Amino acid sequence: MSSQEKQSILIIYTGGTIGMVKDTADNSLKPLDFNHITEEIPELRKIAHELHWMSLDPVIDSSDVKPENWKLMAETVFKNYNKYDGFIILHGTDTMAYSASALSFHLQNLNKPVVFTGSQLPIGLVRTDGRENLISAIEIAAVKEKGRAMVPEVSVYFENKLLRGNRTTKYSADNFNAFISPNYPPLAESGVYLKFHRQNIYYPDTEKKLILNRKFNTSVGLLKIFPGISRDFVEPVLTNKKLKAIVLESFGAGNSTTESWFTKLLEKYIKEGGIVLNVTQCLAGSVEQGKYETSLALQQAGLIGGADITSEAALTKLMYLLGQDISKKEILIRLNQSIIGEIT
């Protein structure tokens, strides 16, 4: 089947800026009735593919997204998987990188595109970026080569680039180019033509069936190192019995304070069964524990180096692994492995 043949695409609206239009009565923004989407984007009438729309109930601002919302998104794709050739998830930008990362772990052996997109300006405004983002996302989701989806993974499309979902992070609240993938190249780029970088795309075994991983354990925390961090701040986190794992955002290549109280708290937390995944605060680069003296103590304390994983992917990967029926030893092994392309 070629990319020119008619494909069936399900577009799932979860909430966010892209689905807002201006109410002419009071100039306020209100959710769009997607039955009238072509009034806002008449170009959709020219798309040859079969488009189907649905909204999650209730729709939510992305700042309110919770793990149960990720599960609902994943279940929606799973339930409709055999009915459609591709899926678009319209989502607010603030937590899109978290949701895209989570769905990459929720949905494994994916052989169809699941493309997240949204906008910085509401779809009802003249200068909205949502129009191009949505149209290009549809075209990308519909492309097949020799009967197989061109990009069969969870991705994020924004401002001319298609990025692996679990490699993205939002870096700008003002620019249309809101997302970057600092440690992994684009899957595709949109210009006059759609240019796919096949060498960067993850192609699973077509013989394996789609797996929906429903169980995520949310007993995970995020601790960011900063100059002057105090014991009074850290200790309540590392002695919280409900926290099974922590993502530690360290400096540079995995460095932190060398204060003995800090490393002793980490050692105690790990000895009592906790897991600490060390990721860098830098947008680009990788954790290399032991490269500098300031990270050697962390390595000796038992922290796992997160390589070039993003904080968003680190959190959701831990939630996924903690939700599986596997030992701590197996979790530690898999943290050092790429499950779905989240680390190099």
Answer whether residue 1 shows pLDDT above 70. Answer: no
Counting the structural domains of the chain, the total is: 2
Tell me, yes or no, whether 340 lies in a domain. no
pLDDT the model gives residue 4:
60
pLDDT for res 57: 82
Same structural domain, 105 and 240: no
- Do residues 36 and 168 touch, judged by C-beta distance below 8 A? no
**HSE toward the beta carbon, residue 144, CA cutoff 13 A:** 18
Q: How confident is the model at residue 36 (pLDDT cuts 50, 70, 90)?
A: low
How far apart CA 130 and CA 139 sit, in angstroms, is 14
Say what the pLDDT of residue 297 is: 82
Residues 70 and 176 in one domain: yes
Q: Which residue has the higher pLDDT, 206 or 140?
A: 140
Please check whether residues 86 and 67 belong to one and the same domain.
yes
Q: Structural domain of residue 162, as residue ranges?
A: 8-212
pLDDT at 26 over 80: no
- Please tell me the predicted confidence (pLDDT) of residue 27: 67
Q: Average pLDDT, stretch 110-125?
A: 90
In angstroms, the CA 134 to CA 148 distance is 22
Which of 212, 247, 264 is where one domain is finished? 212
Q: Is residue 105 one of the residues assigned to a domain?
A: yes
Distance CA 50, CA 83 (A): 12
Does 228 share its domain with 208?
A: no
Q: Which of 70-74, 117-121, 199-203, 293-297 has the lowest mean pLDDT?
A: 293-297
Same domain, 240 and 148: no
State the catalytic residue, choosing from 14, 17, 169, 316. Answer: 17
What CATH number is associated with residue 254? 3.40.50.40
231 and 176 within one domain = no
- Residue 46: pLDDT band with limits 50, 70, 90: confident
Non-local (6+) Cβ contacts of 168 within 8 A are 96, 97, 100, 101, 156, 179, 180, 181, 310, 312
Strands 114-117 and 154-158, sheet pairing: parallel
Residue 342 forms part of a structural domain: no
In this structure, is residue 343 part of a structural domain? no
Mean pLDDT for 90-113 is 96
pLDDT tens digit sequence for 233-281: 999 999 999 999 999 999 988 888 889 999 999 999 999 999 999 999 9
**Segment 15-21 mean pLDDT:** 79
Average pLDDT, the chain: 91
Q: Are 296 and 163 part of one and the same domain?
A: no
pLDDT tens digits for range 65-94: 999 999 999 999 999 999 999 999 999 999
37 and 174 co-located in one domain: yes
Q: Is residue 79 part of a domain?
A: yes
Per-residue pLDDT at 147 exceeds 80: yes
Same domain, 49 and 155: yes
Same-domain check for residues 56 and 201 = yes
**CATH at 205:** 3.40.50.1170
User: Does any domain span residue 1?
Assistant: no
Q: What is the pLDDT of residue 24?
A: 65
Cα separations in angstroms, 164 against 198, 207, 333: 12, 22, 23
Pair 202, 230 in one domain:
no
Active site residue 239: no
Is 344 within a domain?
no
Q: With both helix axes pointing from N to C terminus, report the angle between 328-335 and 311-322 in degrees, rounded to the nearest 10.
A: 150
Chosen domain end from 150, 184, 212: 212
Q: What is the pLDDT of residue 122?
A: 80
* Residue 124 pLDDT: 74
* Percentage above 70 pLDDT, the chain: 96
The answer on pLDDT for 30 being more than 80 is no
Q: Which of 195, 212, 229 is the last residue of a domain?
A: 212
Residue 335 has pLDDT above 60, yes or no: yes
In a domain, 26, yes or no: yes
User: Is the predicted pLDDT of residue 2 greater than 50, yes or no?
Assistant: no
For residues 154 and 254, state if they share a domain.
Answer: no
Q: In angstroms, rounded to a whole number, what is the distance separating the alpha carbons of residues 317 and 101?
A: 8
